[in-house]
């Protein structure tokens, strides 16, 4: 399997001729999900183990298995495979919180944490509550009254996808109050959306095709159109931070791409 994977990657480099230049990332077999923020990179494998990138090697952070992990201005947050419980990384350990269970969380916004439950209800944790949480007591999540399957926030707002793969954007969600989210549907279809802290937006559709949102700026926070980022293999998950686009393929390979 590993030999096959390496061979596929070689074919991949030969085939890639677009604006992003990709190479194999630091080697992590059976990668499933990746998240990058504030210069730090974490990845999760098919067993649910979360790894932290130091130099060119991955270091397993805990023996707890997670469904999703995210790192950003709000810190490092994750949801467990067993029971979708929400954890915050504190002083070298993952501390479990009481309060709502989430299937996916995102720490990439302006200090707030956003997440979706297993019944696809979207929630937000105010930036003051997220930053001061010390590992005890219940977290008080605000209901965003929106059905979303995946949610991610960044500089110009929050993006989400629903169970029918529709894409939504909210420019107004307040990180300090979690109020005022007004969502508008954006053209296209996607199963996941990741927003870099700088506002860059990437989506993956159900066929594993990757797109970047073009034309995003403070005057046009929702951007203008989708641009295909051609990859030689179907993509499962992506994350972008500080010039690096991290790509996990459906076959579990990890790639690092730069412009
Ligand atoms: C939260 O909002 C969802 C709609 O997304 C709704 O179905 C659910 O009942 C709300 N939960 C609470 C506790 O109000
Ligand atoms: C995904 O993207 C590919 C390439 O643009 C397209 O052919 C396909 O129809 C898209 N699939 C969905 C479900 O959006």
Distance, CA of 12 to CA of 21 (rounded, Å): 11
Domain range for 75: 2-258
Is 146's C-beta closer than 6 angstroms to any atom of ligand 1?
yes
Is 256's C-beta closer than 6 angstroms to any atom of ligand 1?
no
Q: How far, in Å, is the centroid of ligand 1 from the Cα of 89?
A: 27
Which atom of ligand 2 is nearest to 189's Cα?
Answer: 14
Which atom of ligand 1 is nearest to 120's Cα?
Answer: 5
Tell me: the pLDDT tens digits for 185-202?
A: 999 999 999 999 889 999
The DSSP-derived string for 133-183 is: --S-SB--PEEEEEE-SEEEEETTEEEEE-TT--EEEES---TTT-----E
- Residues in the ligand 2 pocket, defined by CB under 6 Å: 189, 205-207, 209, 228
Quick one: pLDDT at residue 83?
96
Q: What is the CATH number of the domain that holds 243?
A: 2.120.10.30
Chain-centre distance for alpha carbon 10: 27
Which atom of ligand 2 is nearest to 188's Cα?
Answer: 14
Is 145's C-beta closer than 6 angstroms to any atom of ligand 1?
yes
Counting the structural domains of the chain, the total is 1
The sign of the CA dihedral 160, 162, 166, 172 is negative
Is 121's C-beta closer than 6 angstroms to any atom of ligand 1?
yes
Which atom of ligand 1 is nearest to 119's Cα?
Answer: 7
- In this predicted structure, the answer to whether residue 20 has a pLDDT above a threshold of 80 is yes
Report the predicted TM-score, pTM, of the whole model to 2 decimal places: 0.93
- In this predicted structure, the answer to whether residue 1 has a pLDDT above a threshold of 60 is no
Quick one: pLDDT at residue 12?
64
Q: How far, in Å, is the centroid of ligand 2 from the Cα of 231?
A: 13
Tell me: the pLDDT tens digits for 22-55?
A: 999 999 989 999 999 999 999 999 999 999 999 9
């Amino acid at each position: 399997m590993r030999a096959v994977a390496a061979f596929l990657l070689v074919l991949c480099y030969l085939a890639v001729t677009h604006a992003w230049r990709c190479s194999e990332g630091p080697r992590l077999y059976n990668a499933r999900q990746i998240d990058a923020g504030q210069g730090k990179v974490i990845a999760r494998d098919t067993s649910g183990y979360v790894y932290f990138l130091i130099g060119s090697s991955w270091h397993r952070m805990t023996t707890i298995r997670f469904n999703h992990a995210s790192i950003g201005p709000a810190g490092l947050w994750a949801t467990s495979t067993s029971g979708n419980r929400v954890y915050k990384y504190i002083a070298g350990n993952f501390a479990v919180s009481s309060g709502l269970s989430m299937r996916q969380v995102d720490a990439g916004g302006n200090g707030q944490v956003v997440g979706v439950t297993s019944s696809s209800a979207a929630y937000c944790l105010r930036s003051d509550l997220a930053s001061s949480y010390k590992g005890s007591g219940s977290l008080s999540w605000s209901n965003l009254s929106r059905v979303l399957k995946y949610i991610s926030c960044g500089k110009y707002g929050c993006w989400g996808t629903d169970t029918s793969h529709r894409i939504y954007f909210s420019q107004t969600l307040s990180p300090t109050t979690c109020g005022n989210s007004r969502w508008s549907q954006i053209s296209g279809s996607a199963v996941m959306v990741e927003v870099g802290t700088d506002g860059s937006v990437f989506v993956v559709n159900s066929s594993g095709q990757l797109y970047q949102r073009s034309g995003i700026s403070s005057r046009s926070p929702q951007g203008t159109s989708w641009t295909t980022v051609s990859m030689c293999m179907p993509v499962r998950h992506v994350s972008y931070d500080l010039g690096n686009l991290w790509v996990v393929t459906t076959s579990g390979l990890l790639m690092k791409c730069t412009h």
